[in-house]
Amino acid sequence: MKEFNLPDLGEGLQEAEIVAWHVGEGDNVVTDQPLVSVETDKAVVEVPSPFAGKIAKLHGEEGDVVEVDTPLVSFAEGEAKDAGTVVGKQHAGEAQVQEAVAEVETKDSRKAGKATPAVRALAQKMGVDLAMVTPTGQGNVITAKDVETAAADVAGAEPLEPLKGVRRAMARRMAHANSEVAATTIMEDADIGDWEDGQDISMRLMRATAAGCKAEPMCNAWYDSSENGLRVHKKIDLGIAVNTDAGLFVPVMHDIGNRTPDDLRKGFDELRAAVEARTVPADELRGATITLTNAGPLLGRYTTPIVSPPQVAILGVCRARDEVVARDGQPVVRRMMPLSMTFDHRAVSGAEASVFLKAVLADLALSN
């Protein structure tokens, strides 16, 4: 048999979740015929057949997570490739029950619980995470009663559902960012009270972000922690956070500093539609040099957005509101837009972040 492994889907992605098979065992397929749809943290992607042949075996079922370079489809014809027979694995969460391991981390990090294979099997059957069980047995051993007690505690809750697809990837990215970035956030209000009617908020925010990057190029950069170096970008490739029912996507508007407003609006509309349909091109989901996140109508005066490495800055925008402010010593009502800028303090100084935000505020204060 000849085996076809899950190919590299780009940008260092190491795994994908099987969404739907388009072929069955015993089917004859032709080159480039879609075999399966898989979901990454970026999009749903169709994987085509690399050659023609008869399907001998499909490795994995819908919902399985398959790792890159592990078998996806076995073809009846051709020489066998020694690539193993096990593909991917079902993830039950970040803390997985492994029977071969005796030690178990408990919710009290100062203790180390232990569990027998029988207790581990019981915990798996009852859907109990042993890491959340406090051991009562001698020598910090988790007993069957401990597992039953833990199961009773969560009986009133919905069953644990592993994060999949976009949400799983989002959780991993955020955890990585939180551990990697030396994050600091500064906040300020933009006075947009002089805006002319009909202003396009999204375009104004893109233009203001570009103004900030031009005033302080250090904020439009990537930081390489392994080399302790900074790569400043000449183009401004803006990642724009888009919330969907499936999770958070960050498509990229490329070279926003050199595009016309009409071109930006057309590109943004097409990008949002592609995200909603999960058909966004791979090139539009990578390479952001800085990110913009607009909470729009959501509640919250300010935010502390998370920088996604290797980027060094992200600008967060919250709901604009009318406020009483002092102007020329007199109270006046102005339309104010709260801004929050998080930056990686390993690469960007407070002064540099302030220069960036000052230029953003100045651009937003213009009437058009």
Ordered by start, the domain boundaries in the chain are 2-75, 103-153, 165-364
Q: Is 268 exposed, middle or buried (0-12, 13-18, 19+ CB in 10 A)?
A: buried
Predicted confidence at residue 96, as pLDDT, reads 34
Mean pLDDT of 98-103: 42
Place of tokens 């999204």: 202
Q: Range with the lowest mean pLDDT among 246-250, 256-260, 345-349?
A: 246-250
| Predicted confidence (pLDDT) at residue 302 exceeds the cutoff of 80 | yes
Task: Give yes or no for residue 49 having a pLDDT over 60.
Answer: yes
**By percentage, how much of the chain surpasses pLDDT 70?**
86
Q: Which is higher by pLDDT, 91 or 182? A: 182
Confidence band, pLDDT 50/70/90 cuts, at residue 87: very low
H or E element in which residue 116 lies: none
Over residues 192-196, mean pLDDT: 96
Q: Are 72 and 79 in contact (CB under 8 A)?
A: no
For residues 315-338, give the mean pLDDT.
95
Which whole number is the average pLDDT over 218-223? Answer: 97
pLDDT at 93 over 80: no
**Mean pLDDT along residues 71-90:** 54
Per the CB < 8 A criterion, the answer to whether 134 and 109 are in contact is no
Give yes or no for a contact between 34 and 181, defined as CB atoms under 8 angstroms apart. Answer: no
The Cα-based distances of 220 to 80, 124, 240, 315 in angstroms read: 49, 47, 14, 11
37 pLDDT above the threshold of 80: yes
Section 288-306 average pLDDT:
89
pLDDT (0 to 100) of residue 229: 94
Residue 71's DSSP bridge partners are 5
Express each pLDDT in 165-180 by its tens digit.
Answer: 778 878 888 888 888 9
Whether the bond into 310 is cis, omega within 30 of 0? yes
In CATH terms, 103-153 corresponds, of 2.60.320.10, 3.40.640.10, 4.10.320.10, 3.60.130.10, to 4.10.320.10
DSSP secondary structure of 210-269: HHHHHH-GGGSEEEETTTTEEEE-SS--EEE-EEETTEEE--EETTGGGS-HHHHHHHHH
Q: Is the confidence at residue 84, as pLDDT, over 50?
A: no
pLDDT on residue 161: 77
Strand 290-294 and strand 238-240: the pairing is parallel
Report the distance separating Cα 238 and Cα 287, nearest Å.
9
- Please give the pLDDT value at position 160: 66
Average pLDDT score, the chain? 84
At 333 the three-state DSSP class reads strand
Which pLDDT score is estimated for 83? 35
Distances (CA, A) of 74 to 16, 61, 77, 78: 18, 14, 9, 10
List all residues 6 or more positions away from 38 whose beta carbon is below 8 Å from its beta carbon: 6, 9, 16, 17, 18, 19, 44, 45, 47, 66
CA geometry: angle 17, 19, 21, nearest 5 deg? 115
Asked whether the predicted pLDDT for residue 91 surpasses 50, the reply is no
Please tell me whether residue 363 adopts helix, strand or coil conformation.
Answer: helix
pLDDT tens-digit readout, 307-325: 999 999 999 999 999 999 9
275-294 tens-digit pLDDT: 888 888 777 888 999 999 99
Banded pLDDT at 155 (limits 50, 70, 90): low
Question: What is the phi/psi pair of residue 112, to 5°?
Answer: -135, 110
Residue 110 reports pLDDT greater than 70 = no
What gap in Å lies between CA 176 and CA 306, rounded to an integer? 10
The predicted structure's pLDDT at residue 103: 61
Largest CA distance in the chain: 84
**How do 313-317 and 290-294 pair as beta strands?**
parallel
Measure the CA dihedral 332/333/334/338, to 10°: 110
| Rg, Å, the chain Cα set | 26
Q: How confident is the model at residue 256 (pLDDT cuts 50, 70, 90)?
A: very high
Q: Which residue has the higher pLDDT, 101 or 164?
A: 164
Integer Cα distance of 290 and 20 in angstroms: 34
Please give the residue that has the higher pLDDT: either 112 or 54: 54
CATH fold for domain 165-364: Chloramphenicol Acetyltransferase (3.30.559)
Q: Residue type for 93, please?
A: G
Residue 64's pLDDT is what?
Answer: 87
The CATH number fitting domain 2-75, selected from 3.30.300.90, 3.40.50.300, 2.40.50.100, 3.90.25.10: 2.40.50.100
Are the C-beta atoms of residues 288 and 249 closer than 8 Å to each other?
no
| 8 neighbors 68 (Cβ within 8 angstroms) | yes
